């Protein structure tokens, strides 16, 4: 396994862990602020939009590199 393959795997693993940790932080924020069901959904949608945007950007870059 060379350095490039290791870096790609490590980045995928650590980004997945980071996104999961951010999800836990949002859930904990909603719980501690007593946001309720609607507030929790709103927090996940609004704060999760950045994560979704990052994933979409990554997928689009990979698709464009194939052309």
What letter would DSSP give residue 67?
A: -
pTM score over 0.75 = no
Question: Strand (E) positions, 1-67?
Answer: none
CA dist 11 and 3 (Å) reads 12
* pLDDT tens per residue, range 4-15: 899 989 988 998
* pLDDT tens per residue, range 24-59: 999 999 999 998 999 999 999 998 898 889 889 989
- What length is written for the chain? 67
Lookup: tokens for 52: 């979704």
What letter would DSSP give residue 34?
A: T
Q: Which residues contact 26 (CB under 8 A, 6 or more apart)?
A: 43, 44, 47, 48
Residue 67's pLDDT band, with cuts at 50, 70 and 90, is: confident
């Amino acid at each position: 396994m060379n350095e490039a393959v290791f870096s790609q795997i490590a980045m995928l693993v650590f980004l997945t862990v980071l996104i999961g940790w951010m999800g836990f932080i949002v859930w904990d924020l909603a719980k501690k602020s007593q946001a309720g069901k609607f507030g929790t959904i709103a927090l996940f949608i609004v704060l999760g939009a950045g994560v979704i945007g990052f994933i979409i950007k990554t997928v689009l870059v990979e698709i464009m590199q194939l052309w």
